[in-house]
Structure formats: C-alpha cells, structure tokens
Amino acid sequence: MSRQFSFHTTAEKELNEAAAYYETESRGLGAAFLREVEHAVRHVLEYPESAPLVNRLVRSKLVRRFPYSVMYSVIPRGIRVLAISNQKRRPFYWRDRK
C-alpha cells in the first residue's frame, strides 16, 4: 500500500513562491528547488517517522541545498505537508495549520 500525501493550501503557496524567487535569482534554480523538495517528500513518504519531531505531532525534514524544511504530520491517510518553511523565518509560524 502506498502512502498518499496532501499539501496545506498555504504550504503549496509557500512552495510556489520560493520556487519563483529562486528562478528569478538564477535560471533553473527554481526547478532545482522543486526537485529537492520532491526528493524530501518522497523520503518522508517512504520513511514517515525518520525526521525529528518539532512538537508532539509535527516533523521537520530538511531540504538539501536550500534553507528550507518540509513540515509535516503523519495522518491515517498518509502525510500532510503543513509548511515549506524557510529556516530563517520565525519558528512555528505554521503552528495552527491542519
């Protein structure tokens, strides 16, 4: 049985905005960012409990090459991505997302 994943609407917006920003910085960098986030999500789907807990229910998977983390919860249907969090932002800004 394969796990499913879903993105919180705001997490999807964060992902797209970060990719657009990186693309303006250097052509192809936005696509590279998306590939690294996809790699992190695939790892989470395969090993959902491998990332450290940041609170009782939320885990943080680092994104390679970029100062971002995939913040997610393991739910009965699979994985719920709550935020694509810039590590330099205020911590836990995504706390009220479900």
d(CA 7, CA 26): 26
Q: Can you give the pLDDT of all 98 residues of the chain as single tens digits? A: 467 889 999 999 999 999 999 999 999 999 999 999 999 999 999 999 999 999 999 999 999 999 999 999 999 888 999 999 998 877 666 667 77
CA distance 38 to 13: 15
- What is 46-91 written as a DSSP string? HSTT-SPBSSSSEEEEEPTTSSEEEEEEEETTEEEEEEEEETTSPT
Contact 38, 15 (CB under 8 A): no
Q: What is the pTM of this model?
A: 0.88
Domain covering 4-86: architecture: 2-Layer Sandwich (3.30)
Classified as helix, coil or strand, 94 is coil
Domain boundaries, the chain: 4-86
